[in-house]
Amino acid sequence: MATINDHFLKLTAGYLFPEIGRRVGAFQKANPDAPVIKLGIGDVTEPLPPAIVQAMHDAIDEQATRDQFHGYGPEQGYDFLRNAIAKTDYQDRNCNVSPDEIFISDGAKCDTGNFLDILGKGNVIAVTDPVYPVYVDTNVMAGNTGPANEQGEYEGLVYLPMTDENNFAPSLPDQKVDVIYLCSPNNPTGAVMSREALTQWVQYAKQNNSIILFDAAYAAFITDDSLPRSIYEIEGAREVAIESRSFSKNAGFTGMRCGFLVVPKELTGKASDGTDVSLHQLWNRRHCTKFNGASYVVQRGAAAVYSKAGQQQTRQLVECYMENASIVRATLKELGFAVYGGENAPYVWLKTPDRLPSWDFFDQLLANCHIVGTPGSGFGASGEGYFRISAFNSRENINEAMARLKKQFKTV
């Protein structure tokens, strides 16, 4: 009699974004003419940069000839891409990361979930609150939590609040934790960890033999040069941290699918007999056995990000979205909202008027302004009363959305 993974039954409601999709779908069905503007899910809208388009066309032409055809590639990714990443994202920024520590994948979401495959049961997991739901849900599925309480908090998980009360800088846990998820620039709050804060976390992890899963998917959006873009800018991080990145947001790859995970060779975990085991070796084995490499055409596109033209064009893309964020911030401030983020991140995080529950604000904004945002409570109990506005849209739509907000929330 085949049994199922009971841990799945602990998952509360649907995953956040499908739930948003459901509500928006129902609204659009009832109001087919309402011009809905989607600032909810952090999905890019601008076309792929020309250098990437050209590289992908060229790659397809290669696949159309026997002499240049590429079948199975290395599971870990092609050297042309691993080398480019190591040099541009790390070595040129004085981070010690070698190409063979970079594992190319079809996206950061997959990596952060799949990484749990190589970790043991019984690890104590810490997440910030609010948090990208995938960290939590994948730990629930893996059996690293108990059931959820009424606030949707899972037993056994250590939640580290990030609110305006601590200036969105989560405190070190007051107990020993084994695995820590940190995301900076932060999704959803738009906060960025300072070098000092990140150094404290690395020291904590060293002292407690913890592993940090550092999500740097939004690194390209940092405009303040004093802020760390990679955890490997911090001394000692190679012994305690893996880092996840994505081409989704900086290069418009949400539909293309490419990301990568950095797993330094120094990093170890404990086997049950107490020996130290290389996580790089375990991840390599996992990657080779359960994955077959990212698409060749997509990897060629990702590599074009690192060409001279690609660097310039993706920078323009990022600047375009950051200008949107700046417009959203300014408008919301003008309307009297308490506003956070949006300066080194493509997300603006606001407090709902009169601490209105997040989903109520979601429904009101959809009904009255035909704008889709993301309810803060969808990211965790401490997100209740907050709301995320994504800067990923065309300038035209951002301007139109801001005009609607001004009309709705005009203070005079």
Q: Which parts of 50-79 interact with its own copies (CB under 8 A)?
A: 50, 53, 56-57, 60-61, 63-66, 69-73
Kind of pairing between the strands at 259-262 and 386-390: unpaired
Site for its own copies in 347-366 (CB under 8 A): none
- The CB-of-217 to its own copies minimum distance in angstroms stands at 12
Site for its own copies in 84-143 (CB under 8 A): 106-107, 109-110, 113-114, 117-123, 134, 137-138, 141
Site for its own copies in 275-294 (CB under 8 A): 277, 279, 282, 285-286, 288-294
Compute the distance between CA of residue 251 and CA of residue 260 in angstroms, rounded to an integer: 14
| Cβ proximity to its own copies, 123 vs 223, nearer residue | 123
Buried b (16+ CB within 10 A) or exposed e, 220-255: bbbeeeebbbbbbbbeebbebbbbbbbbbbbbbbbe
- The CB-of-356 to its own copies minimum distance in angstroms stands at 28
Compute the distance between CA of residue 100 and CA of residue 118 in angstroms, rounded to an integer: 18
Of 146-154, 194-202, 296-304, 309-317: span binding its own copies (CB under 8 A): 296-304
Contact 362, 371 (CB under 8 A): no
Site for its own copies in 25-54 (CB under 8 A): 41, 43-48, 50, 53
Element (H, E) at 374: strand 374-375
- The CB-of-93 to its own copies minimum distance in angstroms stands at 27
Site for its own copies in 231-270 (CB under 8 A): 252, 254-257, 269-270
| Cβ proximity to its own copies, 132 vs 340, nearer residue | 132
- What would the two tokens of residue 225 be? 């040069």
- The CB-of-142 to its own copies minimum distance in angstroms stands at 8
Judged by CB under 8 A, the number of residues near its own copies is 83
Contact 47, 56 (CB under 8 A): no
Under the binding rule (CB under 8 A), the answer on residue 297 touching its own copies is yes
Under the binding rule (CB under 8 A), the answer on residue 147 touching its own copies is no
Query: Got the DSSP string for 302-331?
Result: HHHTTSHHHHHHHHHHHHHHHHHHHHHHHH
**DSSP-derived secondary structure letter, 358:** H
